[in-house]
Structure 1
């Protein structure tokens, strides 16, 4: 794991995992005390994950795929679902932080680009003024030469 070489990153990941623990405990409590949340929010992802895990393990071992996968018991499914949802919260927080950093960098890059374009515009205007001055001075020189010849 690359993050191991960065102590601050390791500390940050550890902090996120510690922060997800109360969410998991809250989901466990809600799963025990609120049947609607248990049956429609917590248990279905756990059962889906269990089916996916069993099928993928059977496929890796090159065994015959079962027609019906036994469902997890409600307490096990509740614990697994709560853990999965708390990990999903950690991933969402991490993705949110990544999005924030990327958007901040993008805005800074746009600001620098606008500043460079403004500097380029100012330099172009200076060059145009210098060119106009040179043309006017060249006309004056030609007029003086013509006047001196007469």
Structure 2
């Protein structure tokens, strides 16, 4: 499914990105004014990301891995962490939309399958009734033939 062919999808993605900007700014403000949130919520993911990024780049360049990766400065780590958390927020919203659509489709398919199963059971019941009628009629035909002889 290509999102470019659906203007509503483009509009939705644009709206989600617009929503993430104030959320990122709020995280940035909280990072500046609340040391607990800055040190325990915003900076650790940024430092971890920096470590993984540096190590992966060095590995791709086939360079020697250092024992200690230099840490980011607090303002840079705060900005990077706020950006990462705002993107995670947008990603979570997108996952929520996907989960909603999948569950809606699943319920619709389950309802259709239940209707088909009900129709099949009704047809089986009718076939059983017809089979019983045919057996009864065969017995009556045998009785009439025996009576005619």
Alignment TM class, shorter chain as reference: over 0.9
2:35 is aligned with 1:35: yes
Q: Which residue of 2 aligns with 1:139?
A: 139
TM-score by length of 1: 0.92
The C-alpha deviation readout for 1:85-136, integer Å capped at 9, x for no partner, is 0000111111111111111111111111111111111000000100111111
Deviation at 1:7, TM superposition (A): 2.9
Question: How far apart, CA to CA, are the structure 2 residues paired with 1:110 and 1:3?
Answer: 27
Q: Which residue of 2 aligns with 1:25?
A: 25
Q: Which residue of 2 aligns with 1:93?
A: 93
Aligned length: 148
The C-alpha deviation readout for 1:25-78, integer Å capped at 9, x for no partner, is 110111111110000000000011111111111111222112211111111111
SS of 2:113's equivalent? helix
Q: Which residue of 2 aligns with 1:111?
A: 111
Deviation at 1:5, TM superposition (A): 3.8
2:54 is aligned with 1:54: yes
Q: Which residue of 2 aligns with 1:120?
A: 120
CA RMSD, Structure 1 to Structure 2 (Å): 1.3
Gaps of 5+ in 2: none
TM-score by length of 2: 0.93
Moved more, 63-72 or 83-92: 63-72
Gaps of 5+ in 1: none
